[in-house]
Amino acid sequence: MSDRASRWNLDGPDWDFMELQKYLWNPLMDYWFRMEIEGWERIPDPPALLIGIHSGAPFVWDAWTVGAQWWRHFGAERTLHGTAHDALMAFPLIGSYFRRMGVLPAAPDSITAALAAGHDVALWPGGERDSLRHWLKRDDAVLAGRTGFIKLAIRSGVPIVPISTVGGPDAMPVLATGQRLASLLRLDKVARLKMFPIALQLPWGVSPALLPEIPFPTKIRTVFQEPIELERDPSKAEDDEYVQAKYDEVCASIQHGMDALARRDGYRCLANRYDTLAPRSVIPCGCRPPAGAGLCSSAIDPRLRVSSPRRRAGHESGPSGDWSPIAALHGARRTCLWWTFASGCAILRNALAPCSRCELRSPPLDARPCRVQAGFP
């Protein structure tokens, strides 16, 4: 497996192959995922290392849509290489498809070579711990404490562009991560997998998340954050304090962008505030949540519950602003998921820690602006 996974080259992507796939990706992004992407003006000159979070398996839709949108925006003028887990690159059919799309193994040698050639690279450091995280943690930035990408960017002399995205986990809600099961099956020895998640997916229902699935229709929002410049001195890669500081800065930038994007959907704001049910002393970006931030209806600013008159009327809009059947299907699925979760939370909250009044607050800002300060509505 390791031999098959380690095969790579910088010849991809196959542009003729990409051109044929526009008949798949364009409707998928515009109508099924109703994708919104912004922040193109923040992307520096090539090469750059793009760092983000992703969700799903074996196809991580919020990562693939970034690559497809990149191709739609830049065409063949600016090459972006995605990266993938060894288990996917070694799989016979999936690995061949990934290579034709320009995907590289998530290894230092391949990424360094691509950056040296002047190509941009998108890396998802969280790996399977990120892509297969529990649905309740869908809006958490999970980079799994892996600081290797900071060292790689320093040695390559390139800036880091954080990518914030929300909505992808709704395409395949993960119900259980299955870490103990993966350990029992020794998947970490066989395929470098530390999780064996169970998810709700089509057409299998509740099943192992590693099966090919039809994604639920959802709305994916993605934003390129401000680039983070690094010292060009290679010795800085050995400075643990400097590396950790830059890692925290990247993680905080991604998390703040996700918080701002999640606020555009009122139901996500309430769903993300379950601290009384599952208290967390530190969120992934390193910011401490405010004490007493709980889950109750009074915590939601009414302005955050809806984002447009059409949503107040119970409708969703397609890319052209008109109602569409797929948008309606997405709204029905989202409503069912949310009310199931909200009902359980309300019962547990009243049983464990009833609260009569609380305020919705956001993690304190550190080095990176977010929400209104970052230009989000």
Number of domains the chain is built from: 1
Q: Which domain does 243 fall in, by range?
A: 2-168+216-266
Q: Which residue in 289, 277, 264 sits closest to 371, CA to CA?
A: 264
Lowest-pLDDT choice from 2-6, 127-131, 197-201: 2-6
- When pLDDT is cut at 50, 70 and 90, the band that residue 329 belongs to is low
Rounded to whole angstroms, what are the CA distances from 350 to 19, 70, 296, 301? 54, 47, 10, 21
DSSP 8-state symbol, 314: T
Closest CA to 33 of 300, 326, 314: 326
The residue among 273 and 275 whose pLDDT is bigger is 273
Residue with the two structure tokens 């600081």: 147
In DSSP terms, 265 is beta-bridged to none
* Nearest residue to 298 via CA among 253, 332, 346: 346
Please check whether residue 308 lies inside any domain of the structure: no
Lowest mean pLDDT among 40-44, 133-137, 338-342: 338-342
> Does residue 143 fall inside a structural domain?
yes
Residue 209's pLDDT is what? 82
Q: Please, what's the b/e burial string for 338-370 (b: 16 or more CB within 10 A of its CB; e: otherwise)?
A: beebbeebeeebeeeeeeeebebebbeeeebeb
DSSP three-state, residue 120: strand
What CATH number does residue 226 fall under?
Answer: 3.40.1130
Indicate if the pLDDT at residue 250 is higher than 60: yes
Residue 60 is assigned to a structural domain of this protein: yes
pLDDT tens string 336-372: 666 566 555 544 544 444 333 333 333 433 444 443 3
88 assigned to some structural domain: yes
- Calculate mean pLDDT across residues 53-66: 85
Q: Supply the pTM of this predicted model.
A: 0.69
Residue 35: C-alpha distances to residues 113, 119, 140, 184, 367 (Å): 31, 25, 19, 39, 28
Residue with the larger pLDDT of the pair 221 and 323: 221
| CA-to-CA separations, 59 to 37, 217, 254, 306, in angstroms, rounded | 19, 15, 21, 31
Q: Within a domain: residue 55? A: yes
Q: Which of 56-70, 204-218, 246-260 has the highest mean pLDDT?
A: 246-260
The SS3 of residue 228 is strand
| Structural domain contains residue 223 | yes
Cβ(141)–Cβ(35) under 8 Å?
no
Residue 177 lies in a domain: no
Query: Is 345 a member of any domain?
Result: no
